[in-house]
Chain A
Amino acid sequence: MPMAQATGTIPQRRLDALAGRWRWSASRRREAITAYLFLVPFLVFFAIFIVRSVVYGINVSFYDWKVLAPDHKWLGLKNYETLLKDPVWWTSIRNTAIFALLTVIGTTILALAAALAVNAPIRGRDFFRVVFYAPGVLSVGVVGILWQWMMDTNFGVINYGLNLLGLPKIPWLSDANVVLPSLSLVTIWWGFGFPMLIFLAGLQGIPEPLYEAAKIDGANSRQLFFRITLPLLRPTILFVTVTQFIAHLQVFGQPYIITGGGPGYASYSVIIYLYQQAVRYLQAGYASAIAIGLAVIMIGLTLLQFAFLGRRPEGE
């Protein structure tokens, strides 16, 4: 009796609302299940090859972990202590940082200049777009073999050309002070095409009326570039520099193939060191510490870049 009475007192619309909510949550549950079915393949790979490996890698770095050894000795932070006192580590950090800085600055400026040029309505721009992107399809092995010979001090075609122009020979790869800019030059040549495409996409996203309005107000092309193009490209520049930094701090192939890290240790990069420790000396523990040391530096630099470049432009 009280039940019936109670039911009778609940307004019909509330019942409907309750029923509706129930139906809604059932469809919601179905939607969640569908979503996870869509996600399963990705999550499986993500869990095995990324999450597990990052956790595992951090763990390995606390051991004296030899690749083929049956068991491994716990070292705590010892690998990191060794790392901080390791002159080869610091040399490789210095080389990698110089290389990455030169390459990122060079790539960004060249890619932006090329994008502005091939964004203009001129004849043959598809041709230029293809040529500028073309080196990017080569593998690092080919890039290395090609430039190793071109940059040879005595028999290289570049110094031959300089000689024809009456200029002195440059010891591209054999001088410790020149080798990093040389490798950076090779890398800029190889890789500026993709950032150029990204800048091009960014430029095409800037609404044309903005330029027209500014032109009516009497702005010259320099003002158009510094007041409109550059501020509006800020997110693009951030994207390009961040991804370029992450890529170039992991430089391996160019020095490994072209100079073998030399002369001496002048172009020895962090990843070459990691590779040598892991593959040549089978020191997985120490190699992991190197990787995590680099990761910490890279995360720090990325945050710094966001802090400097990620600020919203004034007036927005």
Chain B
Amino acid sequence: MSATRTFRLKNVGLYIFLLILTAMVGFPLLLMVGESFMHSNEIIRWPPIVIPGDPTLENYTKMFTQQDLNLPRWLFNSVFVASSYTLAVLVVCSLAAYAFARLNFPGRNVLFFLFLVTITIPSQVTFIPNYLLMRDLKFLDTYNALIWPGVANVFGVFLLRQFFMAIPKELEEAAILDGASRFGVYWRVILPLSTNALIALAIFVFLNNYNDLFWPLLVTNRLEMRTLPAGLTVMNGAYGTLDRGLVLAGATFASLPVLFFYIIFQRRILKGITLTGMGGQ
């Protein structure tokens, strides 16, 4: 009896903690979504309100029709760049990770050590040289500049290597006996068994790229080549006072795809992280 009671009491404390944290974490998000459905006079109203009194889609329609703002274009740029980047990272890193997980080759340890060293070097060291390189290649203000420089993701190689090493070798040997090539093994055995890890890595690198501000600010200048984060700062500076409702509508719209992706895959993402040993075990 007393055991069940303490168990319940503990859960009450837990719920109080969780609900307070939910309120604190959720409030700004609620505000963002709420304001995106408000008329401009409601947004600046004092005292402030969170739930729109007279909900409107005005901001959302304006977002797609107002010419000088380019919000749809920035959104497209962000999604296109981050998706291409994520795809490139997954392909390039999983190929390299397979070699490190399963194949013997001279220089293996040297390369691995070199990768480890570069993880501790902050990316800012490479910003200026990469910027100059982009300029010389005439890549400034193009998607190329936004996609390629970060593709060699050492972290991604480590993560996938850990995961691949945990896959039983017998599966692979069976495929080789059936006449599969190494690439066939990678493509038809290893990758299908690694979807959780690939999804975990995908959401991680997608968000990093999608939310990056520094690099897009550096390599894009033309308004129509900005990504969403970079574009929003341009608006901030160029217009002085920005149309909050419009920006928050754009923000809400931009975060929905990622949020849905996360909601659908959250269990698999967690599993992917668990099995790659990022969690320590």
Interface residue ranges, A against B (CB under 8 Å):
28, 31-32, 34-36, 38-39, 41-43, 45-46, 48-54, 56-58, 60, 67, 113-114, 117-118, 120, 122, 126, 128-142, 145-147, 149-150, 155, 157, 160, 189, 194, 197-206, 221, 232-236, 238-239, 246, 249-250, 252-253, 256-257, 271, 274-275, 278-279, 284, 287-288, 290-292, 294-295, 298-299, 302
Contacts and interface: CB of A to CB of B under 8 A. Distances in A.
B26 A42 contact: no
Which one of A114, A138, A202 has the highest number of Cβ atoms from chain B below 10 Å of its Cβ? A138
Interface string B93-116: 101101100011110100100110
A189 B232 CA distance: 20
A160 B65 CA distance: 35
Contact of A299 (B15, B121, B228, B270): B121
Given A31-B105, A49-B130, A236-B279, 11 more contacts: A35-B105, A49-B150, A122-B14, A122-B18, A135-B29, A146-B31, A155-B46, A252-B214, A253-B229, A291-B124, A295-B124
Nearest to A288: B128
Contacts of A140: 211, 213, 229
Contact of A295 (B24, B125, B218): B125
A84 B230 CA distance: 32
Q: Which of B25, B123, B280 has the most CB of A within 10 A?
A: B280
A38 B11 CA distance: 51
A290 B46 CA distance: 44
B104 A31 contact: yes
B9 to A, nearest CB: 12
Contact of A142 (B247, B262, B273): B247
A145 B152 contact: no
A54 B266 CA distance: 36
> What size tier do the contact residues of chain B reach?
35 or more
Contacts of B180: none
A288 B125 contact: yes
Q: Which 8 A-B pairs have the closest CB atoms?
A: A205-B281, A201-B279, A141-B232, A202-B279, A236-B280, A235-B280, A42-B96, A35-B105
A126 B262 CA distance: 11
Given A35-B105, A145-B242, A54 B126 contact: yes
A137 B258 contact: yes
A135 B217 CA distance: 22
Interface string B134-153: 00000000000000111110
Contacts of A287: 128
A50 B118 contact: yes
Contacts of A189: 24-25, 28
A250 B121 CA distance: 11
Contacts of A38: 95-96, 98-99, 103, 182, 186
Interface in B238-257: 242, 244, 247-248, 251, 254-255
Given A42-B95, A200-B270, A256 B122 contact: no
Given A38-B98, A199-B279, A60 B129 contact: yes
Interface in B18-65: 18, 21-22, 24-26, 28-29, 31-32, 46-48, 50
Contacts of B211: 138-140
A28 B105 CA distance: 8
Contact of B233 (A35, A54, A141, A199): A141
A199 B281 CA distance: 11
A126 B131 CA distance: 42
Given A113-B17, A256-B233, A278 B131 contact: yes
B238 to A, nearest CB: 14
A197 B242 CA distance: 35
Contacts of A253: 213-214, 229
